[in-house]
Amino acid sequence: MKKIIRLLLLLVIAHLHLACFKEMALSTTADFTIKFIDDNKAAPTRVLIENTSVNADTYKWTFEGASIASSNLQTPPELLFRKEGKYKITLEVSNIDSKTSRKETTIEIGKPLSAKFGFSFDLNNLAPATVKFKNSSVGATRYEWSFEKGDKPTSTEENPTVIFAEKGQYKVSLKAFSGQKFVQFDSTILVGESLQPTFEYETTDFNFNQEAPLTIKVINKSKGALQQKWSVNDANARITAENDSITTILLPDAKTYKVTLTASNGKTSKTSEKEIVANTPTNLLYFKDIPFGVYEASTYSSYFVSRRKQSIAAEALDTLSFGKELDIVFFAQDETLGYGRFLSPDKTASLLMPTIPKAQRTTFINLLEACAACTQMTDAKFDAIKTSKDFSQFVFKFSDGVIEGFDKQTTPRYVPFRTADGRLGIIKIKSFHTTSSDSYITTDIKVYRKP
């Protein structure tokens, strides 16, 4: 009987044990975490998955858009996502108790990382230049700028504004980051001249001595200027176009004037001033030590334009400007200077010299001592000529038909002349020079500036 009771107790205990075992069957939970390598979420990007599932024995992974589509491993291999987009990652797990679980998550891969920017100048690129940068990078979450010689060397702003104080070319770099990954874009900013006002002037109408009334041409030579304005400290002065970069100004009286240029670059204005003296009028041009060489036997020219105060080389005589302005030609028979004369520019062909296009008539009195009706010149009389009005005391008889020449025995020698436009002048031959390599005469010349 005791054996039967013990067997029944064992059966009851076994039953109870089996009932408890069934109640302790383990469930499973699918879970995982995602890590972007280098924290980069821009395509292409690599992803690591850490499996954190609980009580799982089998695994079934599926990956949208990744370098692999599926895996049965507990820990799947590294995934590569090459293109931007939203992709599902799914994990299904089960255990020996036939329990299952599923987890699905979506990751977003950004556009491929690129760095780029544009920029614009506030008003203009003249120094100091304010530059506004427009960031057009893609796929970035953070930015690092560097500015060569900017008022700020670096910036982490998305769209910074920087000032470049001086003229130059400056490198600007932008690093666009996605996590620890970055790409870089470089560009160059060209900054123009800072405002430096200055101007030049030159006389017009061959007024080399700046005699009143004086007309000058003013030329804006400022650096970094966009506009200009001219002014004179005298109400009687006349400015042709006060806002032009090149214009003329009439200074009517013999006095000192202050001419002012106000230059602007659109941001600031600065001035430059010059004192310009209009001298007492003489209407006289005075040239000293002008050499005239023997044609084809001298390094010096035989041609002279008095109102340009310059000698003209023979090869330049065919230009339109010099032909009609040339008024003195010197001819010598040979390099010994035994016979010489001044010749009208329109008669050069008669002495086998080049014909001068558009040449005008100048008449000379080469032998002043042969003209009984003419005033005989002396050094004192020549030196006393201070203005064109001083010529009125002299009497000269000019004749186109007279062909005269002189030798080198008499110095100084005076040769009066009259140009085609009626200007009177006197050439003073101071010396004759004959060497083995060169033959020429040295002269001083006084001549009307205007008829």
| Bridge partner list, 34 | 49
SS3 content of the chain, % helix, strand, coil (to 5): 15, 45, 45
Lowest-pLDDT range, 106-110, 205-209, 377-381?
205-209
Residue 36 lies in a domain: yes
Per the domain annotation, does 122 fall within a domain? yes
Do 182 and 251 belong together in one domain?
no
Q: Give the span between the Cα atoms of 396 and 378, in whole angstroms.
A: 14
In this predicted structure, the answer to whether residue 407 has a pLDDT above a threshold of 90 is yes
Mean pLDDT value across residues 151-157 = 97
Q: Are residues 207 and 186 in the same domain?
A: no
* Residues 299 and 441 grouped into a single domain: yes
- Is 97 within the bounds of a domain? yes
* Strand 70-71 with 58-63, pairing: antiparallel
Q: Are residues 317 and 345 in the same domain?
A: yes
Mark whether 339 and 390 lie in a shared domain.
yes
Domain boundary among 150, 170, 194: 194
- Per-residue pLDDT band at 319 (split at 50, 70, 90): confident
Q: Model pTM greater than 0.75?
A: no
Helix/strand/coil for 311: strand
Same domain, 105 and 237: no
What whole-number distance in Å separates Cα of residue 137 and Cα of residue 51? Answer: 35
Residue 382 shares a structural domain with residue 309 = yes
Give me the mean pLDDT over the 358-370 stretch. 95
| CA–CA gap between residue 357 and residue 237 (Å, rounded) | 39
Domain annotation covers residue 163: yes
Distance CA 168, CA 409 (A): 67
Q: 176 lies in a domain?
A: yes
Q: Which long-range contacts (C-beta less than 8 Å, at least 24 apart) are formed by 431-434? A: 432/337, 432/408, 434/335, 434/336, 434/337, 434/408
Do 404 and 312 reside in the same domain of the chain?
Answer: yes
363 near 417, Cβ under 8 Å?
yes
Write down the pLDDT at residue 315: 79
202 C-beta neighbours (distance < 10 Å), count: 9
List, in order, residues 6 or more apart from 336 with CB less than 8 Å away: 434, 439
CA 209 to chain centre: 35
Residues 288 and 406 in one domain: yes
| Cα–Cα dist 40/27, whole Å | 36
Residue 112 burial (10 A CB sphere; 0-12, 13-18, 19+): middle
Is-contact 52 120, C-beta < 8 A? Answer: no
Question: Where would I find the beta strands (DSSP E) of 57-166?
Answer: 58-63, 70-71, 79-81, 85-94, 100-109, 117-121, 129-135, 142-147, 154-155, 161-164
The residue out of 49, 84, 110 marking a domain boundary is: 110
Q: What is the pLDDT of residues 140-150, one digit of tens each?
A: 999 999 999 99
148-157: list long-range contacts, CB under 8 Å, 24+ apart. Answer: 148/172
Provide the residue range defining the domain that includes 177: 117-194
Residue identified by tokens 């010994």 is 336
145 domain residue, yes or no: yes
Residue type, 215: T
Among 243, 277, 311, the domain-final residue is 277
| Same domain (yes/no): 205, 186 | no
| pLDDT tens profile 265-283 | 999 999 999 999 999 999 9
Residues 385 and 282 sit within 8 Å (Cβ to Cβ): no
> Which pLDDT value is given to residue 320?
64
* Domain shared by 296 and 376, yes or no: yes
The count of residues in the chain is 451
Q: Are residues 207 and 178 in the same domain?
A: no
The yes-or-no verdict on residue 365 having pLDDT over 90 is yes
Q: Is residue 24 part of a domain?
A: no
CATH of the domain at 186: 2.60.40.10
Query: pLDDT-based confidence at 23, cuts 50/70/90?
Result: low
The C-alpha atoms of residue 128 and residue 266 are separated, in whole angstroms, by 11
**In a 10 Å sphere around its CB, with 0-12 CB exposed, 13-18 middle and 19+ buried, how is residue 33 labelled?**
exposed
Average pLDDT, stretch 34-55? Answer: 96
Work out how many domains the chain is built from and give that number: 4
- Does the residue 400 lie in any domain? yes
